Chains A and B, each alone.
Chain A
Amino acid sequence: MTDIGRAGMDAEGGLEAAALVVETHEAEVEAREAGGDTDKTTGDGAGGALARRRRKEAALAYVLLLPALVLFGVFSFYPFFRNFKLMLYETPPVPGLPARYVGLHQIVPTITSTEFTQSLVTTVIFVVLVVPISLILGLALAVAAHRKLKGIGIYRMIFSSTVVSSVAVASVVFGTLLNPVVGLLPWLGINPTPPALESTTWALPSVALITIWQFLGLSFIIMSAGLQSVPDELLEAARIDGAGAWTRFWRMTVPLLSPTIFFGFVVSTIYAFQAFGAIDILIGNSNAVRLHTNVLIYNIVNTLQVSNNPGAAAIMATVLFLIMLGLTVLQMRLLERRVNYGR
């Protein structure tokens, strides 16, 4: 499972690795203390030397941690705390003019504005559209590719290839497919009026489709990795006991896969909350509200960049943060209880 964790979050894996380095060094020090230093007569002197060495080792660990810390500090921790400061200031609608301290006064108007509440509703619909479909499709593809067949590697490569396609490329490709004049839809004889990307009903499902497609690769990889850790002997035993393919899948594979599905659920929820590129490229900020595609993250960026309102944007970002934090805790508490980690 740790492999999946690393695959999901490289940088965090790095931090974990560095922490392990510290632990290992400390363990070595203790071993030497126990074994090599028995001939020392004065306990005080030995303790001092040991403390010095420990400090040295710790210093080395911090030096090794430094690059990661600097990166996180600059791009995550500093902006994170700065965000809370921004919430307290009201800025003029054009940049370059001094901000005014208003304390907590702009919080209520911001989170009760119709723009924000509508954006929240849109986000929830979007997440509900994206998460289950991308997980089910990812699992289906993973099961399909989990066989010992000649050339299966090529299929695995194809299925996981959406991971390396950029959101801009994916958006342009899907935009062309959905284009009412030269696209795939009119070629198939489907020509909705207004066109999918200009319709209040179909614009959001269309961008959700692109997000699902984009996430499918990662979903496939996560599910495949999970499937590979399901022991073949167990399935074999079940087969000998007379369990059919469906029974084996539902009663054996899915329960054994539950930690992976859970992980995929968390990651895809976060991914769906952050969908931005497809909406920006295919819908644009002047149409986002009207076409009900103004998801929270897009609204935050527009509040900041188009309306030049960092205060309100910071408040919305904090709400998004709290939602994600709450969701995560909830998922941890509720889902983990039902997750089967037994081997």
Chain B
Amino acid sequence: MRTTRLSRLTAAALFVITASTATATAVVTADAPAAGASSLPSCNLKALQNHKGVVQVTFWNSMVQANGQTLAAITKAFNSSQNKVHVTLVNQNSYDDTWQKYEAGLTNGQLPDAVQLEDQRTQAAIDTQSFLPVQSCMNAAKYSTSDYLSRPLNYWKVNGVQWALPFSVSAPVVYYNENAFTKAGLNPNNPPTTLADMLKDAKALKASGSGMGLVEDPWHLETWLASANTLFVNNSNGRKGRATKGVFDNKTSVSIFNQLRQLVRSGDATTNPSTGPDEYDNLLGMGSGKYGMTIETSAALGTVTKLLSGGQYSNVKLGIGPFPVYSSSVKGGIEPGGSGVYISKKVPALQQAAAWTYLSYICNTQSQATWAAGTGYIPVRKSSAQTATVQHLWATDPGYKVAYNEINNGVNDPATQGSIIGPYAEVRTDVLNAEVSMYTQGVSAAKAVSTAQKNATQTISGYNSRLGVG
């Protein structure tokens, strides 16, 4: 009796547990509207002009620390500058969280009027068919973009349509400790300008007791390729047509990977992951004196400066240098990174018009100047760069100008505008996995590059075929 009872109970328990395991994945997929027409949807700005009363707009963003405070200040200024639109900021903490929440919103209907999305989500955002291209509102408002820096503007332009306004644009720069440079016998006013120089300096730093911190960032390869004016995916980096495969299995990529491999395998640089509990180790190591140099997005500059001004890192004299390009003899450019701001197509026309009013405000001359000064993002307008705010900032703290120059200078073509890929995040993971396999398992650079390209192509074709376009 006991025997059967135990097994009956166990069997029943097992069934329930296994059944719930197997079905942890069940989701409800809502029906979507038919695909949009080839012409642009309209942006009805008159709806707002004719409306009496205040329109409430929610804006999902991912800005934290100094960046979040600056965005709040700009938004407050917008809300008090007029009485038609009131914007509420909803902070989703990180770009990934924002995107996941947005994807969930596509099925549960909880969507914002405007949203800030990371650079790598551009094609995926278009594929959701849930955004009103800002181009529509630009046409309706006869909005001029001539004041914008061309590469950031083009980053969010696909097939001639502007999908989002470039809002928080950054570029990777070198953060280095001038004191550590001096100690290593290097010129503290002369940070490395090429990849080869960076390796030499890292070696000198290591010999004098520090070294280099290298975060395992998935955009290493792309950024160095852009600096060598070399494409990452086909169809002009996905800008002339949908990208269907990686095209980076070439000598340039192998050379980039080989140098990074050497940098890490020699022990001159120590890596840390770009997510999880150790994601800021490269910056924290600068503070503790463990590292004399690292590469990080310029967007961290505001937060880092604020931390350093606290006085607890008296050993650090922060210097900022441009991203060390692939080679000084090849003319390329640093692709812009950061995020664009989008308008939802799933909200009423009134909300769309109100969202546009807000987005064009946070991208205007003065807002972009305030934004740049408070964060380390670059001002996306030439006129913002001329304002007293930015000129004063650059005079007192020249580090803030470095990323602006990177984005403003160099060649302007698809190779330097960055790629547009549907499963961009997954492709970057493919590339990162190959890169890290060199560091931890000693895989050769050539093998890592070919693995990366093979996996990236497989990821892209899987995405395209599920979308029904490949």
Q: Mark A155-183, 1 if CB is under 8 A from B, else 0.
A: 00000000000000000000100011100
> Looking at the complex, which one of A98, A313, A324 makes contact with B31 (CB distance below 8 Å)?
A98
Q: Are B20 and A76 in contact (CB under 8 A)?
A: yes
Q: Which residues of B contact A332 (CB under 8 A)?
A: 7, 10-11
User: B16–A12 contact, CB under 8 A?
Assistant: yes
How many residues in B have their beta carbons less than 8 Å from beta carbons of A? Answer: 62
Q: Which of A25-33, A41-49, A245-253, A297-305 contacts B (4 or more CB under 8 A)?
A: A297-305
With known contacts A1-B2, A179-B277, A282-B276, A91–B440 Cβ distance under 8 A = no
Residue in B9, B437, B441, B466 whose CB lies within 8 Å of A90: B466
Give the top 10 A-B pairs by smallest Cβ distance, nearest first: A321-B22, A96-B106, A79-B23, A5-B9, A9-B13, A79-B26, A324-B18, A313-B25, A317-B22, A290-B433
Segment at the A interface, from B124-132, B349-357, B367-375: B124-132
Q: Which of B71-79, B149-157, B421-429 contacts A (4 or more CB under 8 A)?
A: B421-429
Q: Considering the chains assembled together, what is the distance between the CA atoms of A16 and B10 in angstroms?
A: 12
New A-B pairs, 13, CB < 8 Å, besides A198-B272, A274-B21: A1-B6, A78-B26, A82-B26, A92-B466, A93-B124, A95-B30, A179-B278, A181-B281, A200-B441, A286-B218, A304-B27, A321-B22, A341-B2
With CB as the reference atom, state the residue of chain A lying closest to B436. Answer: A290
Known: A2-B6, A96-B106, A181-B281. A270 touches B17 (CB 8 A): yes
Supply 8 A–B pairs (Cβ within 8 Å), ascending by A: A2-B6, A76-B23, A96-B32, A175-B277, A200-B440, A266-B14, A310-B26, A320-B22
**Which residues of A are at the interface with B, using a C-beta cutoff of 8 A?**
1-2, 4-6, 8-9, 11-13, 15-16, 72, 75-80, 82-83, 86, 90-100, 175, 179-181, 194-195, 197-200, 259, 263, 266-267, 270, 273-274, 282-284, 286-287, 289-290, 297, 300-301, 303-310, 313-314, 316-318, 320-321, 324-325, 328, 332, 336, 341
Bound-complex Cα distance A328 to B13 (A): 11
Residues A72 and B100 in contact, CB atoms below 8 Å apart: no
B22 touches A91 (CB 8 A): no
B251 at interface by CB-CB < 8 Å = no
In the complex, how many angstroms separate the beta carbon of B442 from the nearest chain A beta carbon?
12
| Of the residues A197, A282, A310, A325, contact of B29 by C-beta under 8 Å | A310
Report the minimum CB–CB distance from B151 to chain A (whole Å).
Answer: 26
| Distance, CA A2 to CA B100, complexed state (A) | 44
Residues of B within 8 Å of A317, CB to CB, are: 21-25
Q: Are B275 and A284 in contact (CB under 8 A)?
A: yes
Decide: A12 and B9 in contact? CB cutoff 8 A: yes
Select which of A8, A316, A328, A341 is within 8 A of B3 by beta carbon. A341
A83/B25 contact (C-beta < 8 A), A92-B468, A94-B103, A332-B11 known: yes
